[in-house]
């Protein structure tokens, strides 16, 4: 359990979405492994190579625990890339750029809902 002070502007949701895609032109989409999401941006893994500061289109189905989900989309700029020695694939950090304010609000609402739901014990499988 996290007990330190959160330094990020937005709550992060590392566990609760799944269908995610990126594109460099907004037309040809590639599926990615989304590993973290907040209203400020996202992290993902892929075997594709992108450059830091490259702009990507993004779309994902974001699911609220307990039911429902919706597609969110927008653009982001790659802020960093990381590849561990001896592993395949690269992890990228993306900051949202030119995304509708309604989408940011909705992502933040779903992430907060999912964190509350997960911490409530209602999502536990016994």
39 in any annotated domain: yes
Query: How is residue 25 written in tokens?
Result: 């032109």
pLDDT in tens, 78-118: 999 998 777 778 999 999 988 888 888 888 888 888 777 76
The residue range of the domain holding 49 is 17-115
Answer yes or no: is pLDDT of 125 > 70: no
Rounded Cα distance, 36 and 27, in Å: 24
94 in any annotated domain: yes
Total domains present in the chain: 1
pTM of this structure: 0.75
For residue 21, what is the domain's CATH number? 2.40.10.220
């Amino acid at each position: 359990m996290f007990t330190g002070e959160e330094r990020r502007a937005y709550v992060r949701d590392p566990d609760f979405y799944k269908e995610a895609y990126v594109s460099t032109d907004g037309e040809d989409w590639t599926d990615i492994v989304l590993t973290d999401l907040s209203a400020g941006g996202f992290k993902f893994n892929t075997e594709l190579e992108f450059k830091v500061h490259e702009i990507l289109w993004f779309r994902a189905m974001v699911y609220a625990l307990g039911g429902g989900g919706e597609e969110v989309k927008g653009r982001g700029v790659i802020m960093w890339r990381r590849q561990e020695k001896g592993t395949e694939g690269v992890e990228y950090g993306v900051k949202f750029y030119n995304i509708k304010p309604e989408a940011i609000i909705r992502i933040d609402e779903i992430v907060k809902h999912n964190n509350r739901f997960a911490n409530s014990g209602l999502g536990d499988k016994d």
